[in-house]
Amino acid sequence: MTSFKEIRIVGIDPDRPPRIRKEAYIDLFYRLSEDAPEEWCEDFNAFGRHVSPLAKVEKGGRRIIGSYVNDIDTIPAHFAQVKQAVADCNAQYIEKIRQREIALAKDNANLQEQGGQQFKLNEIIASLDFDD
């Protein structure tokens, strides 16, 4: 299987720590263990729509998940939801990789079968005489 290291939340973005403000919300920027592949980010943003309040990977910043809460007492529950969305996204991404690899292996096997077009092409190319 293609190598993919599961992504985890490893902390809060040190450049944007949560702060109490006059507004009725607190921004939360969770830092990921590594840059996430673009497709993973898209998948996470779909999962993040089910987190309340919404959580999403920032555009161009594939290492930060941004969200907010309205009440400091909800931070632990919110974090649990975001963490679960990351785990679900990892599982879905790994399954997508596995399905692609199965399809590729099947295509390669079909191409190599005797009588298949790839087999015929390989025989023709092997029979060409490149000597002058």
Number of domains in the chain: 1
- Is residue 115 situated within a structural domain? no
Read out DSSP for the chain? Answer: ----PPP-EEEE-TTS-----SSS-EEEEEEESSPPPHHHHHHHHHHHTTSSS--EEETTEEEEEEEEESSGGGHHHHHHHHHHHHHHHHHHHHHHHHHHHHHHHHHHHHHHSTTSHHHHHHHHHHH-----
Is residue 54 assigned to a domain? yes
Domain assignment of residue 63, given as a range = 9-99
Q: Is residue 13 part of a domain?
A: yes
Is 94 part of a structural domain of the chain?
yes
In a domain, 64, yes or no: yes
Q: What is the pTM of this model?
A: 0.78
Identify whether 53 is part of a domain: yes
Residue 129 domain-assigned (yes or no): no
Residue 121 inside a domain? The answer is no
- How does pLDDT run across 70-127, given as a tens digit for each residue? 999 999 999 999 999 999 999 999 999 999 988 888 776 666 666 667 777 878 888 8
